[in-house]
Amino acid sequence: MTFDVVRVRADFPILTREVNGHPLVYLDSANTSQKPAQVIKAMRMHNERHNGNVSRSVHTLGTEATSAYEDARGKVAAFVGASTPDEIVFTKNSTEAINLVAYSLGQHLALKPGDEIVISEMEHHSNIVPWQLLCERTGATLRWFGVTDEGRLAPDDDLINERTKIVSIVHMSNVLGTINDVSGIVARAHEVGALVLLDCSQSVPHLPVDVQALEADFIAFTGHKMLGPTGIGVLWGRYSLLAEMPPFLAGGSMIETVTMGGTTFAAPPARFEAGTPPIAEAVGLGAAVDYLTALGMEAVHQHEQDITAYALKTLTDVPGVEIFGPATPEGRGGTLSFGVDGVHPHDVGQVLDALGVEVRVGHHCAKPTCARFGVPAMTRASFYLYTTTDEIDALARGLDQVKKVFG
Amino acid sequence: MTFDVVRVRADFPILTREVNGHPLVYLDSANTSQKPAQVIKAMRMHNERHNGNVSRSVHTLGTEATSAYEDARGKVAAFVGASTPDEIVFTKNSTEAINLVAYSLGQHLALKPGDEIVISEMEHHSNIVPWQLLCERTGATLRWFGVTDEGRLAPDDDLINERTKIVSIVHMSNVLGTINDVSGIVARAHEVGALVLLDCSQSVPHLPVDVQALEADFIAFTGHKMLGPTGIGVLWGRYSLLAEMPPFLAGGSMIETVTMGGTTFAAPPARFEAGTPPIAEAVGLGAAVDYLTALGMEAVHQHEQDITAYALKTLTDVPGVEIFGPATPEGRGGTLSFGVDGVHPHDVGQVLDALGVEVRVGHHCAKPTCARFGVPAMTRASFYLYTTTDEIDALARGLDQVKKVFG
Amino acid sequence: MMLDGLYQEIILDHYKHPHGRGLRDPFNGEAHHVNPTCGDEITVRVSSAAGEFSDISYDGLGCSISQASASVLYELLRGRSPEDAAGIHEAFVALMQGRGQVEPDEDVLGDGIAFAGVAKFPARVKCALLPWMAFKDAAARAGIDVSSEASEVKA
Amino acid sequence: MMLDGLYQEIILDHYKHPHGRGLRDPFNGEAHHVNPTCGDEITVRVSSAAGEFSDISYDGLGCSISQASASVLYELLRGRSPEDAAGIHEAFVALMQGRGQVEPDEDVLGDGIAFAGVAKFPARVKCALLPWMAFKDAAARAGIDVSSEASEVKA
Ligand SMILES: Cc1ncc(COP(=O)(O)O)c(C=O)c1O
Ligand SMILES: Cc1ncc(COP(=O)(O)O)c(C=O)c1O
């Protein structure tokens, strides 16, 4: 079966839209993806027919809503190869998932001065700042892998050592597109007794990801980047670890029993899902996972590899364009950041937008990555299963226009 | 203008549904409310036409999404009388809003042994457990107002004193229906220099709430109980206080600048909104606020007062039914918990569900309140702007049936 | 869901006239379980003598399903060897978690077959299992293992 | 949005040939501002003498709008009294925050009127205001208040 991008596009209502009189060319999926009609409909149907609160009611609507919510958990668990749906904690986004681990695991490990946490210089702010704050609270030290000129993690043999307690690394960079081969890092971390979180916000939407194969202890990802709605993210964690960790947010639904004098907590995942969860959002995410599964993540990834190869070639041919990150499709995904000689990314993005081409400009919530390459900002085009080579051509034409305006 | 409940009901698609062969009688709005077509449509339209990530893109979709998100903030601010939209922080639910205050304000005030936090015995678990954990972390002491037999806060003159740092009280109880006259408590707290959070999860959906009139320092409420979607909650806080508080969740969008060595934070509300926020959910909440505003919160409240009066009278006439909480509509809202002599609430709820009548049974995430009244669980019927007297009659008939099955 | 499948006459009978209810001494193991979603509670004690559960006593607060389930448990497991009890336990748990697809064996489950309808009410499965999970724990504390793979799954 | 309103010839001119760019000594106050959403940065210095802003110098990294805005600021405010500068500052901020509804006064804003179109691009308003907010801060650090109600609002 070849990947039928035209048929895929027909499922995305927004792709029929025009922007500034041009057909929408949406090249900002690493920021947030568009949503297929199947996802939008699943949420609407839930709200129109089955809405009730979960885990609290014996009535029919409550039971239907609970089943829908737990079915979504099961789908997400299967999608990433979790051993049991109980390893899937629904959060509000990746950022909350990472904060949850920083807080609860940090407390569980009783971090103290002398302990070390290892991240990298290509992390999203959401995988930097929670660790900085954890280090501030506990006196632990933050260390990090550097990044090579090619946009890969710089090997550093001594970085992970017997002082290391937590390693948190991005699986696929949201700026450079690099897909990190994390197996060595995971093995080394486990060798020294450290635990590993992988920020899979950019990988789970685009590649087949299997938590058993990754061998990490936690992964975080986010619904809105994988055809799902805003308002929902996912933490996967090994059940035995989740079961040992203290709660993070506290309140309804995460308790076993409460008296004014004290509280005991429910088992995971409930322990980490305080308050009314994003119910309709879980239903939407479940529908997104169904959609991706039906196409097959291998096929989705292959399509993006093809587009990326085409885009790398096309952009390399545009004079004055410099690409940050791996120059060939090997070990990288469909997220391409670049500079246009003498033109600020804001201006690049603005001219492209006038032509209907939507790219992200700025620091991409990864200021250290930009700093590593000596620029305050970059322009980024990022692709997904609905991206076509025609859209890459539109981007290239747009860049010619940019150079005309600022020539 | 009289309140036209038939017209209101026509806006709620789910109300045409049948449950177990009977028309749906949804009496569980204190758990989660149903959503009008206007809200469902606003979210769908957003996802089909304007989806983009917020505050990060200069492109048209990003700008539209940002405007939609910030417009929603403005609507919510106006709805509760905030001085500026910057006082509105979007969270994932009430529970996160309360946890945010417990964490950030607790840190800002540098709580220590000897300090006291005051809550009450009629709080939802979400307004108990975060404070218990804060006390555990800091050594502060948790104290609380008791509850009278009538379901009101028991006066206690010494409870709030110079050791008190934070007072967090429910505005309207989700079990007893009591609307607490908080003015005395707020005044007393401010007199001793304590700060006040009001848990308005049940009041904002049902009464006119004005933060200026309440004079509290923070209020928390939640989208899904006020015709809005799941996945979004609100913290309102005085800007000057928010501006002093350290962040809670950390990551993208809440920073000013990030280096590997350290981070500075954005001004509120961004400081407290780490990661991609619930964007479509904010749009839905904005539409919910528009809907409520168009009807008028005074009218909504009056309708519920009428229904409550009718329900109190009707249920009092059913032999063997005991009502927990205020016996008359004065100073109470449309949330009515009761016991049926000799029948466990689970069984009450099950028989009612067989008749299409959806009530909540259990501890309602308020075990101490149940314990106060000497029961492990209660049955609760809760009303909203779409509730009719016919539905109350259906409830009463259902209770007759309950007694037949378990007679 | 209609009620007929749920409130079988047998269940209501056990509810109204529970067998073996009340906590008794002596005992070798005790466990207190709570259903966090509804607040129901049960305490189960087991005493073992001569290789069998010589008594099983219990007390608790709960709905008709959980109370009747405790009464049936008492009838089914008292006087049994740990092996027999494990088999019955497993059969009951499998029935409850079968979403109404499991055909109960009256020879094994006796009055327990009346709970077949409960399996179709996901919100009530936990009620039916509450005493069984507490029993398993109480037995474990008495040093007797009644686990089986099927009963490992979360209640 | 189409570009014509945004990239006025005057703006591109100031961008390509900025006036007064570069940090100079001596100065009485300095401020460094960052646009957190895009990472643009600017440093502004003011020196005051004889009751006027005798020099305003700046350096930074940013897009055409923010760079041109700094150049225009230099032209408009250098040599002005604090009162005059406050008035111009207020007019520029009001124009930027007017969502395209404010009619700019060329007598007050000079080349600044070219920024009228920027007000229709909410994402770019912050770019245009970045130097102006940094200037206000730098002036404050030099002990000179150029606040006015309109410029109190958040950039
Ligand atoms: C009084 C009260 N406080 C807090 C909450 C928690 O709200 P949420 O579950 O949306 O966080 C609720 C509702 O569940 C409530 O009724
Ligand atoms: C690599 C990476 N990590 C974390 C995040 C944060 O995701 P969210 O904003 O959904 O919390 C993102 C996206 O913004 C990302 O690209």
Complex prediction ipTM: 0.93
Question: Where does the pLDDT of residue A8 fall: very low under 50, low under 70, confident under 90, or very high at 90 and above?
Answer: very high
Neighbour order of strands in the sheet with A360-362: A321-324, A335-340, A378-382, A360-362
Beta carbons of C39 and B376 less than 8 Å apart: yes
Q: Which ligand is nearest to the CA of B204?
A: 1
Concerning whether B135 is annotated as a catalytic residue, the answer is no
The answer to whether B38 and B247 have CB atoms below 8 angstroms apart is no
Pocket test for ligand 2, best of A365, A370, A384 (most atoms within 8 A of CB): A365
The model's pLDDT over B156-187, given as tens digits with 9 standing for 90+, comes to 999 999 999 999 999 999 999 999 999 999 99
Tokens representing residue A241 in the block: 């670890």
Instruction: Give the mean pLDDT of C125-150.
Output: 88
Contact C63 B347 (CB under 8 A): yes
Residues 6+ apart with CB under 8 A from C39: A257, B362, B363, B367, B370, B376, B377
Q: What is the Cα–Cα distance from C1 to C15, expressed in whole angstroms?
A: 21
User: What does the pLDDT average to over B208-235?
Assistant: 98
Cβ-based contacts of C36 with chain A (< 8 Å): 255-257, 266, 270
Q: Is C1 on the interface with B (CB under 8 A)?
A: yes
Q: Which chains touch D (3 or more CB pairs under 8 A)?
A: A, B
Residue C39 has pLDDT above 90, yes or no: no
- Looking at the partner chain, which of D1, D36, D121 has a beta carbon nearest the beta carbon of B255? D36
User: Sorting pLDDT into bands at 50, 70 and 90, what band is C3?
Assistant: confident
pLDDT band at C148 (very low <50, low <70, confident <90, very high): low
The one-letter amino acid code at D135 reads F
Q: What is the pLDDT of residue D148?
A: 59
DSSP conformational letter for B339? E
The pLDDT tens digits for B251-280 are 999 998 899 999 999 999 999 999 999 999
pLDDT confidence tier of residue D2, bands split at 50, 70 and 90 = low
For C1-71, list the strands marked E by DSSP: 29-34, 41-49, 52-61
Looking at the partner chain, which of B250, B279, B280 has a beta carbon nearest the beta carbon of A130?
B250
User: What distance in Å separates the CA atoms of residue B58 and residue D11, rounded to the nearest whole number?
Assistant: 18
Tell me: the pLDDT tens digits for A343-376? 999 999 999 999 999 999 999 999 999 999 999 8
Query: From the CA of A261, how many Å to the nearest CA of chain C?
Result: 17
pLDDT over 80 at D154, yes or no: no
User: DSSP labels for A54-88?
Assistant: SSS--SHHHHHHHHHHHHHHHHHHHHHT-SSGGGE
The predicted structure's pLDDT at residue D149: 45
- Residues of A annotated as part of the active site: 365
CA distance B340 to B346: 11
Which residues of chain B neighbour C118 with C-beta distances below 8 Å?
none
* Neighbouring chains to A with at least 3 Cβ pairs closer than 8 Å: B, C, D
Percent of chain A with pLDDT over 70: 100
B/e letters for A228-250, b = 16+ CB within 10 Å, e = fewer, are bbbbbbbbbbbbebbeebbbbbb
What share of chain B in percent tops pLDDT 90? 97
Say whether pLDDT at D146 is over 60. yes
Any ligand 1 atom below 6 A from CB of B124 = yes
Taking the Cβ of residue A363 and every Cβ of chain D, the question of whether any pair is shorter than 8 Å is answered with yes
Check pLDDT > 90 for residue B370.
yes
